[in-house]
Amino acid sequence: MRQFLSHYLPQDLTPCIEGLKALVDYGKPKGVAVILEPRGERLDQLVELIKGSGAYSNPQVGTVEGLRLLYPLARTVQHISDSPRSNLPTAIKLSKELGFKGWFSIETDGGPDAWAGIQKVINALLLSL
């Protein structure tokens, strides 16, 4: 499920938390995890939403502050990309410090040679380990 919650969060998060919690509770016995990809300026409220509902986060690698808030809530997936905004060495270091135990997936912008973008991320990751 992909959504852009930071643009539409109400002041009172109770209905959002209750709705997500119902979704989490429904999916859990079926082996389905609810993962939110928080972005935007309202990360503190998004963290409250994730914690209150039992969902997981899928942090964006772009900001150290965001990673510090979201890595502890990330259990399954972490996208890394070849974006100039991604500081992979810092993201990898923080993932270890903050106990991230999930796996990393590679996200590229495609381009004429998608494999070249993937290899670029792999090379950066290897340098970060």
Considering the domain architecture, whether residues 41 and 75 belong to the same structural domain is answered as no
7 and 28 together in one domain: yes
Query: Residue 127 is part of which domain span?
Result: 60-129
pLDDT above 60: residue 98: yes
Mean pLDDT lowest among 20-29, 59-68, 74-83, 91-100: 74-83
Q: Can you give the C-alpha Rg of the chain in angstroms?
A: 16
Please give the structure tokens belonging to residue 33. Answer: 């995890």
The residue assigned the tokens 């997981």 is 56
Give me the number of domains the chain comprises: 2
d(CA 95, CA 89): 10
pLDDT at 105 over 80: yes
61: left (phi over 0), alpha (psi -120 to 50) or beta: alpha
